[in-house]
């Protein structure tokens, strides 16, 4: 398994698939706005929103797998499979207390944030590399804060999910248009 990255291949892959970032950004923004506007008052509503967030995260990871290669592709696919499983687990096992659900959310944000930071830092040659870095840092901060305080309320965790989703969506939209501009430059 190789973690060597062909820089030109990555840039061309991002430029060729710029629209995936556009779709992802729109979906993340919609999820964020829905979560922040609903203000779920029950665990069951929050669990459904959490499952959707996990599945959307899995979708974006699987899209990323289409433009990465080697060992990174394997890690991205594993992350996507874990996110799908976490979403299914949240729906199938809705009975856990808020603490268990909040720990799921917190660890997901932390791990996904670390992944986004690592991917951004390994692609500093690509214009706009800093956008996933910012989204990753925000995810790490929100996840770490939530891990440190698992007994917080449903409203607070819904707000964390909503805020992170909006930041992620905005970063993906900016990335989409940056990569679209690269497509013209690279003549992909």
Q: Confidence band (pLDDT; 50, 70, 90) for 42?
A: low
pLDDT tens digit string along 108-166? Answer: 888 989 988 998 898 888 777 887 888 889 889 888 887 776 666 667 777 777 888 89
What is the average per-residue pLDDT within 76-96? 85
* Whole-angstrom Cα Rg for the chain: 16
pTM over 0.75: no
**Residues counted in the chain:** 188
Which range is least confidently modeled, 35-39, 55-59, 88-92?
35-39
**Average pLDDT over all residues of the chain:** 80
Two tokens at 177? 């248009």
Q: Domains of the chain: which residue ranges?
A: 7-186
- Residue 40 backbone dihedrals phi, psi, to 5 degrees: -60, 135
pLDDT number for residue 54: 86
Residue 36 to residue 120: CA distance in whole angstroms: 27
Please, are residues 98 and 41 in contact by the beta-carbon 8 Å criterion? no
Please, are residues 138 and 113 in contact by the beta-carbon 8 Å criterion? yes
Q: Which of 30, 47, 32, 28 is nearest to 154 (CA)?
A: 47
């Amino acid at each position: 398994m190789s973690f060597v990255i062909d820089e030109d291949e990555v840039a061309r892959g991002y430029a060729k698939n710029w629209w995936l970032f556009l779709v992802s950004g729109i979906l993340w923004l919609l999820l964020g706005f829905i979560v922040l506007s609903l203000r779920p008052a029950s665990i069951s509503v929050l669990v459904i929103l959490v499952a959707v967030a996990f599945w959307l995260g899995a979708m974006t990871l699987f899209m990323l797998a289409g433009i990465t290669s080697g060992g990174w592709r394997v890690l991205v696919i594993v992350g996507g499979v874990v996110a799908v499983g976490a979403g299914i687990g949240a729906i199938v096992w809705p009975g856990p207390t808020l603490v268990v659900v909040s720990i799921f959310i917190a660890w997901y944000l932390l791990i996904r944030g670390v992944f986004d930071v690592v991917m951004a830092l390994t692609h500093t040659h690509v214009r706009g590399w800093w956008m996933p870095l910012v989204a990753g840092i925000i995810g790490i901060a929100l996840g770490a804060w939530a891990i440190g305080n698992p007994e917080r309320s449903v409203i607070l965790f819904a707000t964390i999910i909503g805020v992170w989703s909006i930041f992620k969506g905005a970063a993906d939209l900016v990335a989409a248009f940056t990569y679209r501009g690269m497509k013209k430059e690279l003549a992909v």
